[in-house]
Chain A
Amino acid sequence: MSTIDYTQELPTVEGSPSAQSIDDVISKPLDTKPGKLWKVLITITSLMLLAGSGALGWTFYKGIGVWGNNNPVGWGFDIVNFVFWVGIGHAGTLISAILFLLRQKWRTGIARFAEAMTIFAVMCAGIFPAIHTGRAWLDGYLFPYPNANHIWVNFTSPLLWDVFAVSTYFTVSLVFWYIGLMPDFASLRDRTTSKLKKTIYSIFSLGWRHSSRHWQHYEKAYMILAGFATPLVLSVHTIVSFDFAVSVIPGWHTTIFPPYFVAGAVFSGFAMVQNVLIFVRQAFDLKHIITIQHLEKMNQIMLLTGTIVGYAYGMEFFMAWYSGNQFETFTFINRALGPYAWAYWTMVSCNVIFPQLFWFKKIRTAIIPMFILGIIVNIGMWFERFVIIVTSLSRDYLPSSWGMYTPTIYDLGILMMSFGLFFTLVLLFVKGLPSVSIAEVKAVIEGAQPSHKGGHH
């Protein structure tokens, strides 16, 4: 595979599997009992989830004081984790919606899984704004409904925009994912022998009959959803960036935040999706559907978005000097040389320096290096949010207000819980639902579509 033949299209699925083999290989994890590796993994993730939930429970009981948040650093791990998880979710929608609109066929094998990861990531993300309010049981007031206090939410606040954005994102992603699953539920329904599974699949398939008349509307709806999901995903992380950018704090108030955050979200999201896919394709024999070329393309997107993030770092830095605003200038010097410099340099090296290795094809097509780079990128992106939030808050305008932030064991516990939740859900998904879209893959294998008669439809 050293030279590419540009006259040939990159095969979406390698080999020439039959439609039935697609059915078999994708349904296999659903029909077989969990293996030892799966059991070990889910034990670990469940323990993380449980232990972390303990930290959360303690927080509910005692209050936010058990976290490291203080004055001036009123936002700490809670918001860092929120932005981190929302960012991870964006890769899924990008793969399923944006790559669909760009007619990139290579998305087919990975779209279902990526969408599932989006939903799980958004669930993890949504926990954080809900718990950081202090009295989480009053979170219903976050939504505008007529209440006894005759009071409404503040529509001009970006924190409220977040409520709408994240709930819309979750709902639309869920609907998009479900629509994709409908035909697959039908296929599973028609091939399963277990009566219980048949009932469950029938209910969820809603009675899908694979009718072409229905496929026609279905494809239109899919296109419409993809067309909406694209601006939606851009808007969600933009609105998250508005949380910071509408303020007046140096280091936060800068106009480049919206596209910068979106690029960063795609960057970290692809790293996470890629890493989980590496496991999945190995464990479930899907290497011919999730190929090295597909992983390579993901690495190229990571290189692109990583470069955009680097551009944003450069622009911020340049404008901090160019503006002549001494507070802005100080903020950037403080990031690089102040008490949190270790976090800053971790961020820069993980996000800008290490991903440059993706220029080399050898790295892009080798599993272990790309896996390690994926982890490095996620660490770097987590630290980026940490640097933005904590350093800017710890030292802003008035030196007498400066203060340091140290996370407590409960902060770390809740972070661990979110990872436990995410991976537990991924493991459950992988055994409970088809992790590759059966219908979509069948549509792109060799011989799936009628031969050209030199025309178009």
Chain B
Amino acid sequence: MVYEKKELPAKVQKIGFLLTGIGLVLVLVSYVLDPAREAFNNIIGLMFFGSIAIGALVLVALEYLSGAVWSTPFRRVSEFIASSLPLMLLFAIPLFFMMHTLFHWTHTEVVEADPILSGKTPYLNIPFFIGRTIFVVALFYVFYLVFVKNSMKQDKTKDQKLTKTNVKLSAVFMFFAGIGITVLAVDWMMSLEPHWFSTIFGIYFISATLLAGLAATTFTAVSLNEGGYLVKGLTTDHYYSFGALLFAITNFWAYIAFSQFLLIWYANIPEETFWFIARWEGGWGFVSVLLMIARFAIPYAALLSQSSKCDPKNLQRVSIFILFAHFIDLYWLVMPTFSKTIVFGFYEMGFPVLSIGILILVFYAQARKKNLAPIGDPKLQRGIDFHL
């Protein structure tokens, strides 16, 4: 018997509730004490939570599209993480009421006086903005539902046609994913500085999303496998690909981040450089350097050797660290708009803790009802047999 459903320990749910509770308290207290600051943290929370869920969904699609087999035994993990997608709107709703605090372009007097900002109003207006976010989340959720419906159905029917459908669907999904993630990034993070623009910003956030989803999936999958909750017969060879992908996408993120910086630094046009200057002065320079070290140097060194990519403990540590670095990245992208000098305190901790708490609770609930492995997937046996 290749898979025996084993209940996740209740401890997991307890941790989920605890983190959600602590997170919620921190968020509410912070909102009362400094609503503007917490609103910005809310954006960070929305992006953090959303990128993990969307990233996981992209991984599901990527597996179907590329025909990879090593990840088939783990696919349910990604599916469960992606199921949190619609809850993004819970994070977004408070923000829809705080638009004037967050975005300069919502202040009509400012926009009318500024010809450049007035030119952007067809895109940067509140109804269209809110509509875009809702539409993207809804669209992604629809894709999720179809993917997962086929995947779950296959558990019972073992019908190969379902895989074929999902493969075709993932090709279509990738197209919308690229555009949707770009829209979310441009809307929620780039428009915080409405005078600034960078054509690579969408790709920057796409790489961050992929990395977030992958890190969350890696940590969960490795932990579950070590605990014997997944199919039998998985080895450290299967972990290698997680490590290699984390390594590769970390490098990709660094490449995109550096390209964006180098080009703006080199041409030295004030219209563009002010954004980076804001992230160098007032103490933010410390975060910029920290970002380079935490987001690139450390994961690079920790995942360079072949053995490090196969070691479960290393993968667990690095995944958590990458998620932490992802938070620092979002914080660096968003917060300098709120404050010219660096701020960091308990205000910032609420949303990340809340996000992780909710993700754990949703995962636990999904694992209760569904199999933690796609037992009907035709590629499953090939996936188990996979070795380097």
Do the two shown chains form a genuine complex with each other? yes
User: Are B267 and A319 in contact, CB atoms less than 8 angstroms apart?
Assistant: no
Bound-state Cα–Cα, A333 to B45, Å: 39
Category for how many chain B residues contact A: 35 or more
Bound-state Cα–Cα, A52 to B91, Å: 64
Q: Which residues of chain B have C-beta atoms less than 8 A from A234's C-beta?
A: 255
Category for how many chain A residues contact B: 35 or more
Q: Which residues of chain B have C-beta atoms less than 8 A from A238's C-beta?
A: 255, 259
User: Are A253 and B269 in contact, CB atoms less than 8 angstroms apart?
Assistant: yes
Pick from A5, A246, A324: contact of B120, CB below 8 A.
A324
Selected A-B contacts with CB under 8 Å, 29 pairs: A3-B160, A5-B160, A5-B378, A6-B163, A6-B378, A7-B382, A9-B69, A10-B67, A101-B244, A231-B251, A231-B255, A238-B259, A246-B263, A248-B269, A253-B267, A257-B259, A259-B200, A259-B259, A311-B178, A312-B199, A314-B179, A315-B199, A319-B198, A321-B119, A322-B197, A324-B115, A324-B119, A456-B235, A456-B388
The proximity string for A residues 145-161 relative to B, scoring 1 for CB distances below 8 Å and 0 otherwise, is 00000000000000000
Pick from B115, B179, B199: contact of A255, CB below 8 A.
B199
Bound-state Cα–Cα, A323 to B202, Å: 15
Binding site for B on A (CB under 8 A): 3-7, 9-10, 101-102, 231, 234, 238, 242, 245-248, 253-259, 304, 307-308, 311-312, 314-316, 319, 321-325, 359, 452, 456-457
Bound-state Cα–Cα, A238 to B163, Å: 36
Instruction: Give me the 9 closest cross-chain CB pairs, A-B, nearest first.
Output: A256-B199, A324-B116, A6-B378, A456-B387, A255-B200, A246-B266, A258-B259, A7-B378, A256-B200
User: Are B202 and A315 in contact, CB atoms less than 8 angstroms apart?
Assistant: yes
Pick from A231, A258, A304, A359: contact of B200, CB below 8 A.
A258
User: Are B271 and A325 in contact, CB atoms less than 8 angstroms apart?
Assistant: yes
Q: Which residues of chain A have C-beta atoms less than 8 A from B388's C-beta?
A: 456
B226 beta carbon closer than 8 Å to chain A:
no
B298 beta carbon closer than 8 Å to chain A:
no
The proximity string for B residues 284-316 relative to A, scoring 1 for CB distances below 8 Å and 0 otherwise, is 000000000000000000000000000000000
Bound-state Cα–Cα, A319 to B194, Å: 12
Nearest A residue (CB) for B245: A102
Nearest A residue (CB) for B247: A227
B381 beta carbon closer than 8 Å to chain A:
yes
Q: Which residues of chain A have C-beta atoms less than 8 A from B267's C-beta?
A: 246-248, 253
B96 beta carbon closer than 8 Å to chain A:
no
Pick from A3, A245, A316: contact of B263, CB below 8 A.
A245
Nearest B residue (CB) for A456: B387
Nearest B residue (CB) for A158: B266
B164 beta carbon closer than 8 Å to chain A:
yes
B281 beta carbon closer than 8 Å to chain A:
no
In B251-271, the 8 Å CB interface with A consists of 251, 255-256, 259-260, 262-264, 266-267, 269, 271
User: Are A316 and B175 in contact, CB atoms less than 8 angstroms apart?
Assistant: no
Bound-state Cα–Cα, A311 to B203, Å: 10
Q: Which residues of chain B have C-beta atoms less than 8 A from A324's C-beta?
A: 115-117, 119-120
In B154-208, the 8 Å CB interface with A consists of 160, 163-164, 171, 174-175, 178-179, 182, 197-203
Nearest B residue (CB) for A4: B164
User: Are B179 and A242 in contact, CB atoms less than 8 angstroms apart?
Assistant: no
Bound-state Cα–Cα, A6 to B164, Å: 9
Bound-state Cα–Cα, A190 to B180, Å: 58
Nearest B residue (CB) for A7: B378
Bound-state Cα–Cα, A410 to B382, Å: 57
User: Are B203 and A256 in contact, CB atoms less than 8 angstroms apart?
Assistant: yes
User: Are B175 and A307 in contact, CB atoms less than 8 angstroms apart?
Assistant: yes
Q: Which residues of chain A have C-beta atoms less than 8 A from B378's C-beta?
A: 5-7
Bound-state Cα–Cα, A101 to B68, Å: 13
Bound-state Cα–Cα, A201 to B105, Å: 71
Q: Which residues of chain A have C-beta atoms less than 8 A from B379's C-beta?
A: 6-7
Q: Which residues of chain B have C-beta atoms less than 8 A from A319's C-beta?
A: 197-199
Q: Which residues of chain B have C-beta atoms less than 8 A from A325's C-beta?
A: 271
SS class of chain B's interface: helix, strand, loop or mixed? helix
User: Are A255 and B259 in contact, CB atoms less than 8 angstroms apart?
Assistant: yes
In the complex, how many angstroms separate the beta carbon of A294 from the nearest chain B beta carbon? Answer: 13
Bound-state Cα–Cα, A118 to B249, Å: 25
In the complex, how many angstroms separate the beta carbon of B231 from the nearest chain A beta carbon? Answer: 14
User: Are B175 and A254 in contact, CB atoms less than 8 angstroms apart?
Assistant: no
User: Are A457 and B120 in contact, CB atoms less than 8 angstroms apart?
Assistant: no
Q: Which residues of chain A have C-beta atoms less than 8 A from B203's C-beta?
A: 256, 259
In B85-127, the 8 Å CB interface with A consists of 115-117, 119-120, 123
Contacts A307-B175, A324-B116: A242 and B387 contacting too (C-beta < 8 A)?
no
Nearest A residue (CB) for B237: A456
B385 beta carbon closer than 8 Å to chain A:
yes
Bound-state Cα–Cα, A456 to B381, Å: 15
Nearest B residue (CB) for A361: B168
Nearest A residue (CB) for B161: A3
Bound-state Cα–Cα, A452 to B171, Å: 34
Bound-state Cα–Cα, A411 to B269, Å: 35
User: Are B255 and A258 in contact, CB atoms less than 8 angstroms apart?
Assistant: yes
In the complex, how many angstroms separate the beta carbon of A283 from the nearest chain B beta carbon? Answer: 30
The proximity string for B residues 369-383 relative to A, scoring 1 for CB distances below 8 Å and 0 otherwise, is 000000001110110
Bound-state Cα–Cα, A102 to B62, Å: 13
In the complex, how many angstroms separate the beta carbon of A317 from the nearest chain B beta carbon? Answer: 10
In the complex, how many angstroms separate the beta carbon of B257 from the nearest chain A beta carbon? Answer: 11
Nearest B residue (CB) for A223: B306
Bound-state Cα–Cα, A447 to B237, Å: 22
Pick from B182, B255, B264: contact of A315, CB below 8 A.
B182
Bound-state Cα–Cα, A234 to B251, Å: 11
Contacts A315-B199, A456-B387: A322 and B120 contacting too (C-beta < 8 A)?
yes
In the complex, how many angstroms separate the beta carbon of B213 from the nearest chain A beta carbon? Answer: 18
Q: Which residues of chain A have C-beta atoms less than 8 A from B164's C-beta?
A: 3-4
Q: Which residues of chain A have C-beta atoms less than 8 A from B387's C-beta?
A: 456-457
Which of B119, B269, B387 lies at the interface centre, i.e. has the most chain A CB atoms within 10 A of its CB? B119
In the complex, how many angstroms separate the beta carbon of A158 from the nearest chain B beta carbon? Answer: 8
User: Are A254 and B163 in contact, CB atoms less than 8 angstroms apart?
Assistant: no
In the complex, how many angstroms separate the beta carbon of B278 from the nearest chain A beta carbon? Answer: 17
Q: Which residues of chain A have C-beta atoms less than 8 A from B197's C-beta?
A: 319, 322-323
Bound-state Cα–Cα, A304 to B62, Å: 12
Bound-state Cα–Cα, A238 to B248, Å: 17
User: Are B382 and A255 in contact, CB atoms less than 8 angstroms apart?
Assistant: no
Bound-state Cα–Cα, A316 to B248, Å: 26
Pick from B198, B248, B255, B262: contact of A242, CB below 8 A.
B262
Q: Which residues of chain A have C-beta atoms less than 8 A from B199's C-beta?
A: 254-256, 312, 315-316, 319
Bound-state Cα–Cα, A315 to B182, Å: 9
User: Are A253 and B381 in contact, CB atoms less than 8 angstroms apart?
Assistant: no
Q: Which residues of chain B have C-beta atoms less than 8 A from A10's C-beta?
A: 67
Q: Which residues of chain A have C-beta atoms less than 8 A from B163's C-beta?
A: 6
Q: Which residues of chain B have C-beta atoms less than 8 A from A7's C-beta?
A: 160, 378-379, 381-382
In the complex, how many angstroms separate the beta carbon of B149 from the nearest chain A beta carbon? Answer: 18
User: Are B256 and A259 in contact, CB atoms less than 8 angstroms apart?
Assistant: yes
Given contact pairs A3-B160, A307-B178, a sample of 4 additional A-B residue pairs in the complex whose CB atoms are under 8 Å apart: A9-B382, A101-B248, A255-B264, A321-B119
The proximity string for B residues 226-255 relative to A, scoring 1 for CB distances below 8 Å and 0 otherwise, is 000000000101000000100010010001
In the complex, how many angstroms separate the beta carbon of B309 from the nearest chain A beta carbon? Answer: 12
Nearest B residue (CB) for A252: B267
User: Are B263 and A242 in contact, CB atoms less than 8 angstroms apart?
Assistant: yes
Q: Which residues of chain B have C-beta atoms less than 8 A from A323's C-beta?
A: 197
Q: Which residues of chain B have C-beta atoms less than 8 A from A259's C-beta?
A: 200, 203, 256, 259
